[in-house]
Structure 1
Amino acid sequence: MGGPPFQNNNNSNSDDNKGNGQSTDTNDSILISSDDFSRSNLESNDLISNKDGVISPETIVFEDRNYGMTSPLVSPNLNEGISHTPQYTRYLEIVEKATGYISKALDLVEHRTPEQRKEWEEHNTEFYTRLYEKSNGEDMEEIKSNLYQTWAHEIEEKFVKYAGFEGYEIFKYLRMSYQVLYDSDRKIKETKITPKVTIRHKEKYDFDAPSSSPDLPKPKSRNISDRLKYAAQKMTKFLKTKGLIVKKFLRRKFTLIDLITTYKKEYLQNDISVGISSGTMIIPQSMAYAFLAGLPPIQGLYTAFIPAAIYCLFGSSRHLAVGPLALMSIMVGAAVQGQEPKDNDQYISYANLLALMVGVNYLLMGFLQLGYLINFLSRPVLSGFTSAAAIIIILSQANSLFGIKGDNQPYAWKYFYEIAKGLPETQWIAVVMAIGCFTLLYVFKNYFKTIPKTTIPVPAPLILVVLGLIISFFADFEGRGLALVKEIPSSLPFPFGSWQSISFDVALSLYKEALVIPVIGLIETVSAAKAAANKCKYDISMGNELTALGMANLFSWVFQGYPCAGAFGRTSLHMSSGAKTQLTTIVSVVVVGLTLLFLTPVFYYLPKVVLAAIVIFAVSQLIDLEEVQNLWRINKIDMLLLLVAFWTTIVLGVQPGIAVSVILSLVLVIYQSSRPNCYIVGRIPGTTTYNDIDLYPEAITENNVVVFRFDAPIIFCNSYYLRKQLKKIYKNEDDTKNANVSAIVLDCSSVTNIDSTGVKYLKELIRELVDLKIPMCFADVRPNVVELLKLSGVYRDLGGDHFFVKVHEAVVIAPKLTIRPIVEPKAGLKLNCFKKRPDGVYTELY
């Protein structure tokens, strides 16, 4: 292989050059593309000028664009006396072109020492000789093995060993070589050659043309049986080729298929026992949550029935339990009451329509892949909202606890007014029942968590309901005036049984509420599904979850339910009790279905105070006092945001509360993105490690070089902040220690991307520093960022000698760099100029 691209092969011997009076300064060497000049033009004695001065023809290295390399391959004349087939000749052309790109990559680092270049030339010549000796016998497999399995790895090891900053260029040209092979696949399919290249990061490019079997001959007979047989053969052929793809698609989208095909017998006992326990828990909970939404208890059972079964068909979680939620119920109640329905049937119809709207929104989020948006909701803000919402839910059930009459209210202070007004009418039987319910729930939760000798939790709500029914029946609570559930229809839900015509204005107003309700449901669903998946070591698909929730809510609309989502409490029950699959949910659905068919008359005597106690005990766990204590110690700003969300929800209601919570979260994200972490770093004595000088007072700065680390992508929202901070440094506006700055090094180890606005501010910053005669260097830059800087012209403005692999190299060399004036390139002339840096490394200026 010839010399490096910045060195003329005819002048490689420095002593001979001196003797001939030729220039030996490699800093002036320049590479000009064959697209701009012909070789005959370069042979003239005319001088070519560039912005650095006058360049003589001897300092020009010709670049061969046909093979994308700056020097020809070193290989023997292999075309003499050897005959090849046309297909194999074409194959060799492709290989040689790809090799050219690799050779160009190697040229960037092979200038280190003459010994290294000589060693590589010998290796290359030996390999080509061996390769073409094999080709004479057309042993294709041997050639492929040598070329793609041995030689490619030797090349990688070679350039990785000597890679400095130029390693970025190496990887680029190596990728180009693979791309040539990939693009040539369609042209050489007839050769049936199957080259396969394995790259270090385990990407594989396989160019094997699929073996195509001839189409089945069409039957000449017009007999129907012959034609049916032909159609069956075509279908069989299709299934053999496409069936696997279809099967994978169906198993990915319809997870119930995967459950059926992979189910194991040893899962059955746990799934059935946990499913029965979950079913007994959801029955009282769903009725209680329906009361919370202002709906009859039967609507809660309907919501826990069909939607849960539909989720099993599409959902990717093995443990998630879908049904009514406390927070969604209170939001549904507030949304429907805001429309002032004239009667109970219209109230149910409005709630039912919300299920349709929420389901459509979930499906749209899944189609547009918007599930990631919930990550922008701040945990402290959500904690403040959920704590306030829990308090509102507790207040909404206080009337039942005291046995007084009252309506659902949109604000917490109105509940306080209702309770205070009704206290003289308190029924002490209800208060005693409430105290007894809370005591039993507390005892079961803390002292009798599971059924003896099993891991199945005790169904405390069910036990409470049974005891309440027995006491109510024998103590004649109905005669004493205590509020009871009374009659519940005993039937399965009939499709569209609660549907009524709704005006467009009401539907539009409800849809505004339906934009917010799915957010709460999705947060709880994802939290529960991820917790179960992490503990049981499997993956969930956000797209599948959104689709499953959308379909569950659509069927909830069809079968007289209201909006539903994944419940954290029952999902935890499935996970901790040893459930393995969604068969648990199917069993619980069967339990709910049997209850709807046969057991609903039993609930006639159930006191509402029992359901109120179940709701209050469940939602009280949402009040997160520990989060407030942690934020007080860790981050006062986050605690302030929590309090704002909390009091907004308490004073203005649930809907404004969630709106303010979302806005606060977005404001927090924008603020933190616009002011990322950035600081000056110094060298720890005795090492080449650089750290924050504020955290490490012993860190030192050398040669008045300021190293500035920016821990974020340089994008539109923070690029001005970066420029502002650097401006303070070189203008010495913030710290007298930075006086007489000799150079600025931007540590880009955490910079993953730069957008057009970031490029604009960087260019302005570079121009200011050039005017002040202060070099600016980039260190530890990622390959994709380097490519962006080249495309945007920043690399050209500074020059490749201002880019370093390590921060310490930049600190040592930066003060010695010369500052070039920024000159826009002339149109129509492409120059690849190489320059020797003070450390002896040649770099491409642009």
Structure 2
Amino acid sequence: MRARLPRLPMVDWTRGYDRTTLSSDLVAAVIVTVMLIPQSLAYAALAGLPPQVGLYASIVPLLMYAVFGSSRVLAVGPVAVVSLMTATAIGDLAQAGSIAYGALAITLAFVSGAMLLLMGLLRLGFLANFLSHPVISGFITASALLIAAGQLKVILGVKVEGHHFFELVLGLVRQASHTHTLTAAIGLGTVAFLFWARRGVKPLLLRLGMGPRLADGLAKAAPVAGISITALLTWVSEWHEQGVRIVGTVPQGLPPFTLPAWDWALWQQLAVPALLISVVGFVESVSVGQTLAAKRRQRIVPDRELVALGASNLGAALTGGFPVTGGFARSVVNFDAGAQTPAAGIFTAVGILLAALLLTPALFYVPQATLSATIVVAVLSLVDLHILRSTWAYSRPDFAAVVVTLLVTLAAGVEAGLVAGVGLSLLLYLYKTSRPHIAEVGLVPGTEHFRNILRHKVAVSPQLASLRVDESLYFANARVLEDRVNALVAERPALKHLVLQCSAINDIDASALESLEAIDQRLRGAGLRLHLSEVKGPVMDKLRATEFLQHLSGKVYLSHYQAVTELTPEICHSSDI
């Protein structure tokens, strides 16, 4: 029989596609298009690329995701963090804005897309689990602060050198006296307008009698209004003649067909940044997709998302774009606007394409400070300082991971911060699991339950000790169990039986198996017997494949109560604690 190819997700959502669904998708597409145009321009500038590249990166990726993606509402395109990571990855290899710089961005998108596609085909979606929420939260918060600090120099019209947060802040302080007043007025005024628009426009329109849906759509179009008003004022008042930097000429037309640089040495240089961009983009995209899908009792498939994002990035690379992923803000807007299927993304792509064909001449007089203000307002919503307080109260290791990720990202850059956060999380996990909680348990009178003798009033016997290991056994913690058993045996001269309650043990590796064999031999030599209880099926399957059970001095019991009943029945019948 021939192997059947997996069915594309679009086959499912195109079935039964009716006029009502079409209407909902079209309305959502119009709202997202209006929002995406200024975002695309701004994020291209953040990546160090010409503004039209942001439009190019928002067309084909949307089409590719509609074909391969499993989310009904995820909107793919340029996002702030990935744009910053793109600028960091290629900033030292070419001058921003140059032809070589654009070629590097295309190559980076291609390499990232190839990695994502390969990871999807190999079903490696689980790799995203190595990025814990505290690390991601700290990374995104630091990246948002870094982006905002970098855009302030454009808003204030000053020249500041430096790529890291503290360098940028120090440079801004030093250059404060050289602020270009008119540019600062435009930039800060736009920031104030956009912050007000987020909360003030919709209530105002509702009071004026406008319908909720239309009012919400117009409120989300505030960035377009900011760009239009400042561009019109710049043109009428000729502010560009007074030192205000503007976008200038933006090429009009279809996205070009482009190819990456076929240079293996360059690919090796971009491999690590491309991998980090791929993983961060995938985690952000899947997090947003899963959150929105749950609200409609839908589901997304992580491995399928890898394929879809890989195809989207390859599409961006072949059409003059740069790395993309699923964006939080635009996906939420797409969801709230009533999008029912990925067809909304297709209609959005058509809208962006029309903008690239027809509207680019109108961008000539847009102040660069306005675009920077759009970025600042967008990224500051990503800052989550609450995570510091919550992790401090709940888990100090997670708090340490957040702080290290935050500080290293601010001080040394996005790549170093992400690697430091992941590395510290893994080290803390190894440290924690290398010191497992091992509780001696006793029987709760009148029940068949066993609890920690230090926390509860339980029945015990001097002839039997029950240890519950609350962690899988592997090379890093096997010796800890040996030491605990040796200490227990030395303290209990009347001890005859040791039962390991294995209810919390999900795995036993080869090193831990050797430790269990050593424990059994020592206990046998001292006249004691080792027993196991409540061993999970997969663990028992592994043990049966060895000679350990054949040589075990004691027995394996289905339940711990069964073990205690057989070995020390007086405990079960005694009421004396």
Provide TM-score, normalisation by structure 2: 0.91
| Equivalence map 1:755-774=2 (5 Å) | 755-774=509-528
**1:815 Cα deviation from its structure 2 partner:** 4.8
Partner of 1:473: 235
> Which residue identity lines up with residue 509 of structure 1 in the other structure?
Q
Distance in structure 1 (CA, Å) of the matches to 2:86 and 2:241: 33
Instruction: Kindly state the Cα deviation for residue 504 of structure 1 after the two structures are TM-superposed.
Output: 5.0
Distance between the aligned counterparts of 1:415 and 1:772, measured in 2?
68
CA distance in 2, matches of 1:448, 1:677: 55
Residue number in structure 1 paired with 2:171? 418
Match of 2:190 in 1: 437
Rounded to whole Å, the distance in 2 between the matches of 1:330 and 1:739 is 65
Post-superposition shift, 1:285? 0.5
Counterpart in the other structure of 1:652: 412
Aligned pairs (5 A) from 1:153-552: 246=4, 249=5, 252=7, 254-341=8-95, 344-406=98-160, 409-449=162-202, 452-455=210-213, 456-457=216-217, 458-459=219-220, 460-496=222-258, 504-552=264-312
CA–CA distance in structure 2, aligned partners of residues 739 and 464 of structure 1? 82
Secondary structure, aligned partner of 1:533 = helix
SS at match of 1:513: helix
Equivalent residue number for residue 676 of structure 1: 436
Q: Is the 1:410–1:654 Cα contact (8 Å) retained in structure 2?
A: no
- Equivalent pairs counted in the alignment come to 562
Moved over 6 A (4+): none
| Unmatched tracts of structure 2, length 5 or more | 571-577
Partner of 1:222: none
Q: Does 1:814 align with 2:564?
A: no
**Paired residue for 2:334?**
574
Q: 1:448 to 1:810 in 2, by over 3 A?
A: farther
Summarize the Cα distance change of 1:639–1:278 in structure 2 as closer, same or farther, 3 Å threshold.
Answer: same
For the structure 1 residues 600 and 406, does the alpha-carbon distance in structure 2 shift closer, same or farther, using more than 3 Å as the test? farther
The amino acid of 1:632's aligned partner reads W
Offset at residue 741 of structure 1 (A): 2.9
Name 2:505's counterpart in structure 1: 751
Evaluate the alpha carbon distance shift between residue 787 and residue 489 of structure 1 in structure 2; reply closer, same or farther with a 3 A threshold: closer
RMSD: 2.5
1:586: which partner in 2? 346
The structural deviation recorded for 1:492 is 0.9
Offset, 1:582: 0.6
Please tell me whether the aligned partners of residues 107 and 260 of structure 2 are also in contact (alpha carbons under 8 angstroms): no
CA deviations over 1:639-681 (Å, ceiling 9, x no partner): 1222122221122122211221222222233333333333222
Larger Rg: 1
Distance 1:470 1:739 in 2: 91
CA deviations over 1:18-68 (Å, ceiling 9, x no partner): xxxxxxxxxxxxxxxxxxxxxxxxxxxxxxxxxxxxxxxxxxxxxxxxxxx
Could you report, residue by residue, the CA deviation over 1:782-804 in whole angstroms, capped at 9, with x for unpaired residues? Answer: 234334333312222236x6222
**2:469 and 2:502 in contact (8 A); partners too:** yes
Distance 1:583 1:397 in 2: 34
Unpaired runs of 5+ residues, structure 1, are 1-240, 733-737, 818-846
Q: C-alpha offsets along residues 716-740 of structure 1, whole Å, 9 cap, x if unaligned? A: 33333332333332233xxxxx564
Corresponding position of 2:539 = 785
Contact 1:292–1:333 under 8 Å retained in 2 = yes
Q: Aligned partners of 1:434 and 1:520: how far apart in 2?
A: 30
Structure 1's 376 and 403: CA in aligned 2 closer, same or farther, altered over 3 A?
Answer: same
Does the CA contact (< 8 Å) of 2:405 and 2:421 recur in 1? Answer: yes
Counterpart Cα distance in 2 of 1:713 and 1:413: 43
CA distance in 1, matches of 2:485, 2:235: 79
Instruction: Give yes or no for the alignment of 1:804 onto 2:557.
Output: yes
AA partner of residue 718 (structure 1)? N
Q: What is the match of residue 721 of structure 1?
A: 480
Deviations 1:562-616, CA, capped at 9 Å, x for gaps? 0111111111112223211111111111110110010011111111111111111
Deviations 1:435-476 (A, max 9, x none): 332232222323445874344542222222222223323332
Instruction: Report the Cα distance in structure 2 between the residues aligned to 1:343 and 1:615, rounded to whole angstroms.
Output: 18
Cα gap change, 1:341/1:484 in structure 2, threshold over 3 Å: closer, same or farther?
closer
Q: TM-score, normalised by structure 1?
A: 0.63
Counterpart CA distance in 2 for 1:589 and 1:715 is: 51
Inter-partner Cα distance in structure 1 for 2:462 and 2:202: 68
* Equivalent position SS for 2:465: strand
Confirm or deny: 8 A CA contact 1:339 1:506 kept in the other structure. Answer: no
**For residues 342 and 617 of structure 1, what CA distance do their matches in structure 2 show?**
23
Partner of 1:706: 465
Residue 704 of structure 1 deviates from its aligned partner by 4.3
* Amino acid corresponding to residue 24 of structure 2 in structure 1: N
Cα distance, 1:463–1:700 mapped onto 2, change above 3 Å = farther
| Mapped partners of 2:45, 2:544: distance in 1 | 64
- Native 8 Å contact 2:104 2:261 kept in 1: no
CA 1:777–1:504 in structure 2 vs 1: closer, same or farther (change >3 Å)?
Answer: closer
C-alpha distance in structure 1 between counterparts of 2:538 and 2:155, whole Å: 63
SS in 1 for 2:441: strand
Where 2:245 maps in the other structure, the secondary structure is coil
Distance 1:727 1:283 in 2: 68
Cα deviation per residue 1:352-385 (whole Å; 9 max; x = unaligned)?
A: 1111111111112112222101111222222222
1:602 corresponds to: 362
Report the residue type matching 2:544 in the other structure: K
